[in-house]
Structure 1
Amino acid sequence: MAVSDVRILRPLVHLLVPLFIHWIAEEMTVSVLVDVTTGALCPGERSCAEAIYITGLQQTVVGVFKMVVLPILGQLADEYGRKPLLLITISTSIVPFAILAWDDSRAAVYWYFVLRTISYIISQGSILCISIAYAADVIEVGKRSAAFGWITGLFSAAHVLGNILARFLPEGWIFEVSICLLVCSTLYLKIFLVETVMVSPRQSENRSCSSIVLKVFVERWYSMKDNIFVINSSATLKCISSISFFYELGMSGISSVLLYYLKSAFGFNKNQFSEILLMVSFGSIFSQILVLPLINPLMGEKGVLLIALGASIAYGMLYGLAWAPWVPYLSASFGVIYVLVKPSTYAIISKAAISSDQGKAQGLIAGVQSVASFLSPLVMSPLTSLFISGKAPFNCKGFSILVASVSLIISLAHACLLNSENPDKPPEHETSQCGDETVEAPLLAQS
């Protein structure tokens, strides 16, 4: 994207600012959480099987509920607007972090896991999905890939600042600062974000955010089966759902145990974790904001996706086979490339869905990913715990990460079969729907 074209991002400013602040607040807690949970659950020990199992259980529960919640939130964003759903999702992290800011005892850590699980069910994945749908509302089709790259690039930039804060702030201040930033991001979004989806008087009358969510979850959850049409009507969405499933199966499995594995295998602590995350984030900013807009017109979304998936395989393999403390740093460098999986996937989904289905399509694919994030801990948690313990059948502490890498190889194989739809033509199903769009959408409007 040329410098002069940055002006196309002006409609996104009041979305990007609160998201940036929110992501900083969340990221700055990542590296310290391993030390806090391990210290509370397994005092004085370098590895903690209990923390690994609880983290895996958390991811499993989140994955189960996200299968339903993410598509519903996508529908809600289409029907009732992006802003109220964003307000709900970005505010859910405040209370869990407040628990750890108040106390870091064993009981407090358990309460944190419970409340953070609820927070993840509502916010994990949905924030990006709704944000992507918002961007699709205000950015023309030809510029969306670059715009999505900016969104994910700012996500990486937030990781950089979050990890810098985590690296240099005293551990006792991290959660307090994070809470302040989370509150600021919610207030900014409430005050400045302009809604893009027109809400009819019937929909908006006497409908608070909480009543909208309650109505959908209690009375209309069964309508989700009708929305499978959004995926079934497009060969591209079918293929990208398979790619996303296996990619998320591998990457969520790796990320859920990686820090515990590094702590056990090489004695890494908060500082090393922050250094690795910083290295990836710095490179990711460059690749997503500057490189992606340049290579996407030359290679297309499919070409970018193939390269990024190949890098993710190298990333997993090197971590799994790491034989020295410097190898994880080499492995992390491939994160600069594999981060392009997300923006290229968002662009492919956006092109394959009609305008009234943007939230549904992004939410449904995210729901498919949640199935993978539900399944991966079932294998990764016990496998990682076994191989970092003294009872491992053979000496390969990263064996579980190698297993997860197989899923990334399957994802790459599916990506080779992807035939993305021509952006100059309507998506496959749009020609048959455009005339009847007012009848088909939104599906949740049916009573």
Structure 2
Amino acid sequence: MGKLRGLSHLLVTVFLSVFGSFMVLPAITDVTMLALCPGQDECSLAIYLTGFQQAIIGLGMVVMSPLIGNLSDKHGRKSLLTVPMTLAIIPLVILAFSRTTNFFYAYYIIRTLTAMVAGGAMECLTLAYVADNIAERERASAFGILAGVRSAAWVCGTLAARFLSTSSTFQLAALVSMIATVYMRIFLEESLPYEQQASDNLTQPIFKHADDEPNLVDEEDGQIQKTTMQIQAFKNIPSLQDVLCLLKTSKTFSQAAVVSFFQSLADGGIEATLLYFLKARFQFSKNQFADLMLITGIAGTISQLLFMPLMATAIGEEKLLSIGLLVGSANMFIYSISWSAWVPYVVSLFSSVAIFSYPTVRSIASKQFGANEQGKALGCISGISSFANIVSPLIFSSLTALFLSERAPINFPGFSIMCVGLALMIAFIQSTMITTAPGQRNGNNNVMEN
């Protein structure tokens, strides 16, 4: 009962957090265009700035996601969840106050800095929390339910944005994000791998006072030097050698990492280009973006909460992953040749299948390691995905700006979207080669030590 209660509080936390974060998505494109290129339907500056921000955020996440995941294995998921959830509030408060050009640039800088820390940490920590409390055989279904709750929050947030003014949208988003953080701190129980829960170090603090550290005496001048927790924190940053060690430990894990890289490469392309493509191609605005996200969110919620647990049991995670990637690739190809404004709405319905790929690839990766290594493993996957988010905007933002401009070499506005589909196709091909061997390692072994 304790574990179920903890998971229910986690789901509420995730719902509120995602609700606050995602309800601003339908409005942010219009806010960006109005601040940078008022009165225009195509703005290369907005596309380039969005891509640059995404690349810088990815650069920070490459370091911070594995670090936070690693620290959570030692100090608990709840303790580390406080960091990304608190940081996510600040940018929302800025645009809740004003959306003029100066405030937009302030939001742009602050969000870039905070998302470098908070961007991938929330997903990594919540998945690790679930892995701590759910057996391997039920983990795919649990990850699917967690993704379904995210989709439900996306639906509710988008629905709220559809009927609220832009200013009210950002104000409500900031308020809900604050409530989510407070709720998490009050109700969510701490979660640590079972090996550590049995020890006496369950409540060891993340930061210790200098008085608690051993003293080091300099024999030459007799001065007392004390070790600092800053040095210890840097020791928790996984090196490239640590990541390579994880990848070499399990062939299945390395294959899942490749799939995650190309999947995230495509996701970054979608995030950086799709809304700008639709605005330039069909003059979509906040309401049309909200309608598309509602369709995607409702379809994703139903499929992940109802169908995915049944299908994962019936056909297996590997096949479900491949099906999701194949449908996602087909969706992007159709988006790229959209010939009418109704086409994106129809394509959005098929996201109910494409969305299967997200929880399944992480479930496959999670099962390759023991309970005391979930933070490291999932943090590594998040770091690899973050690296893809550095590369993605450098490719897709430039392609989108070029093919939406008058300098396009050919008349194909959706060329960058087609390239997104190609990235997903590569991920699909790699996913067909995955052969899982769960439980290769037990929870008592530590990859970093080995």
TM-score (normalised: structure 1): 0.91
Q: Offset at 1:225?
A: 2.9
Q: What does residue 364 of structure 2 align with?
A: 348
Task: After TM superposition, list the pairs within 5 Å mapping 1:416-427 onto structure 2.
Answer: 416-421=432-437, 423=438, 426-427=439-440
1:109 aligns with 2:104: yes
C-alpha change, 1:375 and 1:383, in structure 2 (3 Å) is same
Amino acid at match of 2:269: G
Contact 1:79 1:442 in 2 (8 A): no
Task: Name the CA distance, whole Å, in 2 between partners of 1:209 and 1:283.
Answer: 47
In structure 2, the partner of 1:155 is: 150
Residue 17 (structure 2) pairs with residue 19 (structure 1): no
* Candidates 301, 313, 327, aligned match of 2:343: 327
Deviations 1:355-392 (A, max 9, x none): 11111101101111111111011111111011111221
Of 231, 245, 248 in structure 1, the residue corresponding to residue 261 of structure 2 is: 245
Verify the 8 A CA contact 1:292 1:340 in the aligned structure 2: yes
Q: Residue 245 and residue 160 in structure 1: after superposition, are their counterparts in 2 closer, same or farther (change >3 A)?
A: same
Partner of 1:289: 305
Shift of 1:318: 1.0
1:77 is aligned, of 72, 97, 119, to 72
Instruction: State whether residues 124 and 378 of structure 2, in contact with CA within 8 Å, keep that contact through their aligned partners in structure 1.
Output: yes
AA matched with 1:255: E
Q: Which has the higher helix share?
A: 1
The Cα shift of 1:220 comes to 4.6
Amino acid at match of 1:380: F
User: Which whole-Å CA distance do the structure 2 matches of 1:297 and 1:207 have between them?
Assistant: 39
What is residue 395 of structure 2 aligned with on the other side? Answer: 379
Which residue type is aligned with residue 36 of structure 2?
Answer: L
SS of equivalent residue, structure 1 residue 323: coil
In structure 2, the residue corresponding to 1:221 is in which secondary structure?
coil
Runs of at least 4 residues of structure 1 off by over 6 A? Answer: 199-203, 209-213
Amino acid at match of 2:430: H
1:9 and 1:161 map into 2 onto residues whose CA distance is 24
Structure 1 counterpart SS, 2:406: coil
Corresponding residue for 2:241?
225
The question of whether the paired residues in 2 share the 8 Å contact of 1:72 and 1:224 is answered with no
Select the residue among 330, 350, 354 that pairs with 1:314: 330
Change (3 A) 1:202 1:7: closer
Kindly state the Cα deviation for residue 19 of structure 1 after the two structures are TM-superposed.
Answer: 1.2
The DSSP-based 3-state class of the residue aligned with 1:22 is helix
Partner residue of 1:266 out of 263, 268, 282: 282
Mapping 1:184-263, distance limit 5 Å: 184-197=179-192, 198=196, 207-208=206-207, 214-215=230-231, 218=234, 220-221=236-237, 223=239, 225-263=241-279
Q: 1:320 to 1:195 in 2, by over 3 A?
A: same
Shift in CA distance, 102/35, structure 1 to aligned 2, threshold 3 Å = same
Aligned to 2:213: none
SS in 2 for 1:417: coil
Cα 1:105–1:73 change in 2 (3 A) is: same
Distance verdict in 2 for CA 1:356–1:222, change over 3 Å: closer
**1:68 corresponds to 2:84:** no
Give the Cα–Cα distance (whole angstroms) in 1 for the partners of residues 9 and 232 of structure 2: 28
Residues 168 and 151 (structure 1 numbering): CA distance in 2 closer, same or farther, change over 3 Å? same
Q: Output the CA distance in 1 between the equivalents of 2:166 and 2:235.
A: 45
8 Å CA contact retained: 1:99, 1:111: yes
Q: Please state if 1:52 is matched with 2:47.
A: yes
Corresponding residue for 2:174? Answer: 179
Task: Report Cα offsets for 1:52-96 as digits up to 9, x if no partner.
Answer: 111100111111121111111110110111001111111111111
Range 184-193 or range 326-335, more displaced: 326-335
Amino acid at match of 2:326: G
CA distance in 2, matches of 1:204, 1:267: 54
Residue 111 of structure 2 is aligned to residue 134 of structure 1: no
Deviation of residue 227 (structure 1)? 4.6
Please give the alpha-carbon distance, in whole angstroms, between the structure 1 residues aligned to 2:231 and 2:304.
38
Post-superposition offset of 1:10: 3.9
Gaps of 5+ in 2: 211-227
Q: Partner of 1:44: helix, strand, or coil?
A: coil
RMSD of equivalent CA atoms: 2.4
Whether 1:390 aligns to 2:394 is: no
> Hey, what's the Cα distance between the residues in 2 that align with 1:9 and 1:320?
44
- CA-CA distance at 1:137 after TM superposition: 0.9
Q: Does 1:360 align with 2:355?
A: no
Q: 1:141 to 1:209 in 2, by over 3 A?
A: farther
Maintained 8 Å contact 1:322/1:328: yes
User: Alpha-carbon deviations, 1:208-244, whole Å to 9, x = none?
Assistant: 4999995555455365633532221101001101111
CA distance in 2, matches of 1:220, 1:21: 30
Alpha-carbon deviation of 1:97? 1.1
For residues 315 and 337 of structure 1, what CA distance do their matches in structure 2 show? 10
Distance 1:166 1:231 in 2: 41
CA gap of 1:210–1:85, structure 2 versus 1, over 3 A, is: farther
Are positions 1:118 and 2:134 aligned together?
no
Match of 1:3 in 2: none
Match of 1:299 in 2: 315
In structure 2, what residue type is equivalent to 1:114? I
Q: Matched residues in 1 for 2:339 and 2:421: separation?
A: 17
Aligned length: 429
Contact 2:266 2:423 in 1 (8 A): yes
Aligned to 2:219: none
**Alignment partner of 2:92 out of 89, 93, 97:** 97
Shift of 1:296: 0.9
> Aligned AA for 2:166?
E
Q: 1:104 to 1:217 in 2, by over 3 A?
A: farther
Q: 1:309 to 1:273 in 2, by over 3 A?
A: same
- AA in 2 matched with 1:79: K
Please tell me the residue identity of whatever aligns with 1:169: L
